[in-house]
Structure 1
Amino acid sequence: MDNNLPFTSAHELEKLIRKKEISPLELTELYLQRIDDMDAQWGSFAHVAHDSAIKDAHVKTEILGNTKNTQELPTFFGIPTAIKDLYSVKGMPTAYGNGFIKDNIADFDSGIVTKIKEAGMIILGKTATSELGSLPYIESPSVPPCRNPYNPKYTAGGSSGGAAAAVAGGLIPVVHGSDGGGSVRGPAFCCGLVGLKPSRGRISSAPVGDYLAGMATQGCLSRSVMDSAMLLDILSGYVMGDPYWLDNPSESFASLVTKNPPSLKIAFATEILPFGKADDCLQKQVKDAVDIFADMGHKLTEGCPDFSSIVEPFKIIWQGSMVQGDFPDAILSPMNLWLRKTAPSLREYLNAVHQIQVISRQIVAFFADFDVLILPTYLQPPIKVGEWASLSSEVTLDHIINWIAPCPPFNATGQPAIALPTGFTDSGLPIGIQIVGKPKDETTILQLAYQLEQIKQWQKYRPSSID
């Protein structure tokens, strides 16, 4: 079988399935074998559902064989994927990144799982996440660390690190994640992928409701912009009772993504307050993208909102989330236990929610003069596994905040943002930029990302050490 097949974009695999050039069973067997052979070195899967995946693949292969007009099949029919281990798949464990509860079997499907099944996708298992989804790397004492396929000495990021490592390593072609402070964009940055955080209200969190004061949302991790657009179409939509919702555009994101946007007013920055300048290699990624967009006819202006006042209320809300849930202290990692024990009071939490909503209005007002903002995704390149393990929890938190700084402001505002893999460090680690759009405007950032993809061709990236 073609060695490039595991690294083929999902929308290309979909075409092969619809032409009956490959079957869902063949694809499922291919990816399951790769998981068995290779994932021990990365730790991208928390649970592999061999039996149910093969059973589903047999059914879908039979349906494909009996279908005369394959265009009538749902989007991504027969495409393998996986579900982040913060969300429930009926009959599979939901352990929230904690090894002590790995036998906690779910008796229902989360809303996104229902939509993924309705789209005809085959679920191969659960992807690894940081414990409770709290950290931008996966190193809980109760589970194996999740490592970067480009260099296993480095992290794949978090909290959707398992999802990113699985796609980067050619174990699945496309996958969902969730992003409460960069948890889709950060792993995409670390693993050389496209990572889309949609607008607040674009994707339902059913059957649960608000989380992190509305700052967390589902998102997409993929090798190509088109794959993320197509997965966004699958996941989008109101579910009765949602606390936030948006109407879907009149056309699908997939049909809009390839259309060139008009000349855009683009702001960009390589330094953000109060954190300072990004690493030199990340500044270069922004500047290179700016030059490309200027050549395309877009209008570029250096500028960025000041994020100084958002840091403390965001930290309070994020830390306050550790109090939620029924997890006993005894099973938590030291970092999460410290976060829980030093959590803010109810008054502090509610004041922080009020503050962050007021500050978010000020940040969004910046976009009255610009269509998009280009920033580094993170301020430093990916860190090594265990790099901060000897630090105190308080010092670790400071390191985290300074690493991921460009991401959380847009969870606070609810704006769409997309991380793009625009290059590599001198040592071969993926790095990149993020493009932030106006509220509700995923279309523009997807179109701009697609324009850049035609030049950068990052969908062809793959770790050199992998067959």
Structure 2
Amino acid sequence: MSTPTAPHALTALEQAAAVRAGDISPVELVRHHLDRAEEFDARYGAFLTRTPEAALDAAATLEKAGRGTSPGALFGVPTAVKDLVETAGVVTTYGSKVFAGHVPDADAHSVRRLREAGTVSLGKTNTPEFGCCCYTDNDLAGPARSPWDPALSAGGSSGGAAVAVALGLVPVAHASDGGGSIRIPASVCGLFGLKPARGRVSSGPLGAEVNGLAVQGPLARSVRDAAALLDVLAGPEPGDPHWAAPLPPGETFLGHAGREPGRLRIGRYAVPAADGITVDPVCLAAWEHASRLLESLGHEVEDIPTPFGPEVGDQFVTAWGVQSLGRAVGPEQEASLRPVTRAWRAYGRQVSGERFAAAITGMHRATRRAVEATGAYDAVLTPALATLPRPVGHFDESGDPLVNLRRQSPFSAFTSPYNMTGQPAVSLPLYWTAEHGLPVGVQLAGRPADEATLIALSAQLEAAAPWRDRYAALF
């Protein structure tokens, strides 16, 4: 059987519905997406490793097991896992040639949850070395390129996942975000990206928690798909250092995507906390457009001062520099790392324990003040990025790494503070440039552990200003 629309043009939930209805089998669905990945991956850099044989075997197993069962919301749906996360029996490189032959013997909890939900991974998506950059490039697969203009970077560090979803190589993908790494490529690639609250998704058993900045979450072409994947990923595991408050019994994030959010109070600001960053006028236009759309839906939108002070920049850099040392590399292998990775690690080694403790303490104080300052609002609206997408060569690593790092700053100016607070935040593709038709995202940050309201509000915005037809140009 075949679906009336090309399978890759369907949302993840539509694909799963087609499997349940018998309109397409898991094997047919997986094979279709594998063929599409074969066609586009080399040009756009979505994957570091593709696993076609394992994917077809898993799909065949699902096909047999699905008979007579009640499969879940994403049963049979192809997906992919970011290559910062361990997958048993599959090369997991962390974006580094130092780990080119590394094959874990155990899954990350998130990977196990994806498999138990009946999704089928087609492989590991492209990421910068150790996920340390807001663009995606490495010495193994090269850069991930924007599907809208392959001369442009797809953003990072979940750039490969974003490319895979935007091009329909998979309908929804696993990603992670330590300073904007879901929201940045979502903005660049025209996707809905959701950074969950701290403690919502387990990073165990091997994920680092030294600063609490990073969390795993979904990249999708629709809010409902992202909510469904979050339902799969969400939930604490024994030993996790952070646990987000769960939804009430019987509720799901997908269920909230079908609820009206009611009239909400939205605060908005567009001045970055970090000094010296000028926001591109097009990013401001996208922010103004989203503000008007929110008002047209009956929400109260108010200007507020930037809730973060400039000190959070240094605190984040200190925390991130120490985090860069979390991946063990032998002294003889250090020279094989990329220049920016080496620069981060060299900086991290210079941070004393006293300085690191002061940075983490200061970060907690600053973020508590920010959460209190915005406590009267159901959500906060900002630009997603302070800059438009940049050419792949803009992030060249052959020169001074500090120049490279400064060039990254406008990409994370609005996103990284919400990794520090641990609040959930999303990027929505509500605006497109008039001249080149490039997506420009806006960010909504929610109350602590309140993804539910963000999802309901995002679904309302998607219904009011649908972006699905935009992908026709890529399909």
TM-score by length of 1: 0.96
Q: CA RMSD in A?
A: 1.6
Following the alignment from structure 1 to structure 2, what is the Cα–Cα distance between the partners of residues 207 and 194? Answer: 27
Q: For 1:308, which of 307, 310, 316 is the aligned residue?
A: 310
Other structure's SS at 2:152 match: strand
Count of residue pairs the alignment pairs up: 462
Cα pair 2:98 2:337 within 8 Å, conserved = no
Cα pair 1:83 1:176 within 8 Å, conserved = yes
Instruction: Give percent identity, aligned residues only.
Output: 35
- Cα drift, residue 12 of structure 1: 1.1
- Cα drift, residue 52 of structure 1: 0.6
Following the alignment from structure 1 to structure 2, what is the Cα–Cα distance between the partners of residues 44 and 27? Answer: 19
Following the alignment from structure 1 to structure 2, what is the Cα–Cα distance between the partners of residues 193 and 40? Answer: 21
Matched letter for residue 228 of structure 2? M
Alignment of 1:244-255 (within 5 A): 244-250=242-248, 251-255=251-255
Deviations 1:302-327 (A, max 9, x none): 11313412000100111111222222
Aligned equivalent of 2:290: 289
Alignment of 1:249-398 (within 5 A): 249-250=247-248, 251-275=251-275, 277-303=278-304, 304-327=306-329, 328-343=333-348, 344-389=351-396, 391-398=399-406
Matched letter for residue 73 of structure 1? P
Cα pair 1:169 1:463 within 8 Å, conserved = no
- Cα drift, residue 8 of structure 1: 1.6
Aligned equivalent of 1:436: 445
Moved more, 191-200 or 449-458: 449-458
Cα 1:463–1:398 change in 2 (3 A) is farther
Other structure's SS at 2:289 match: helix
Cα 1:210–1:86 change in 2 (3 A) is closer
Matched letter for residue 318 of structure 1? W
| Structure 2 unaligned residues grouped into runs of 5+ | none
- Cα drift, residue 424 of structure 1: 1.8
Matched letter for residue 441 of structure 1? D
- Cα drift, residue 339 of structure 1: 1.6
Following the alignment from structure 1 to structure 2, what is the Cα–Cα distance between the partners of residues 361 and 436? Answer: 15
| Structure 1 unaligned residues grouped into runs of 5+ | none
Q: For 1:30, which of 32, 35, 54 is the aligned residue?
A: 32
Other structure's SS at 1:354 match: helix
Other structure's SS at 1:53 match: helix
Following the alignment from structure 1 to structure 2, what is the Cα–Cα distance between the partners of residues 384 and 212? Answer: 33
Deviations 1:312-355 (A, max 9, x none): 01001111112222223022101111221222222221211111
Following the alignment from structure 1 to structure 2, what is the Cα–Cα distance between the partners of residues 63 and 326? Answer: 40
Following the alignment from structure 2 to structure 1, what is the Cα–Cα distance between the partners of residues 207 and 164? Answer: 28
- Cα drift, residue 228 of structure 1: 0.7
Other structure's SS at 2:377 match: coil
Deviations 1:20-66 (A, max 9, x none): 111111110001011111110011100010111111111212233x3
Following the alignment from structure 2 to structure 1, what is the Cα–Cα distance between the partners of residues 190 and 411? Answer: 17
Moved more, 276-285 or 333-342: 276-285
Cα pair 2:7 2:32 within 8 Å, conserved = no
Other structure's SS at 1:175 match: strand
Q: For 1:7, which of 9, 14, 17 is the aligned residue?
A: 9
Matched, 1:421 2:423: no
Deviations 1:84-139 (A, max 9, x none): 10111111001000134222111110000010011001111100111000001122
Aligned equivalent of 2:63: 61
Q: For 2:412, which of 374, 399, 404 is the aligned residue?
A: 404
Cα 1:97–1:209 change in 2 (3 A) is closer
Following the alignment from structure 1 to structure 2, what is the Cα–Cα distance between the partners of residues 209 and 60? Answer: 28
Following the alignment from structure 1 to structure 2, what is the Cα–Cα distance between the partners of residues 381 and 3? Answer: 33
Cα pair 1:212 1:318 within 8 Å, conserved = no
Cα pair 2:289 2:431 within 8 Å, conserved = no
Other structure's SS at 2:392 match: coil
Cα pair 2:273 2:312 within 8 Å, conserved = no
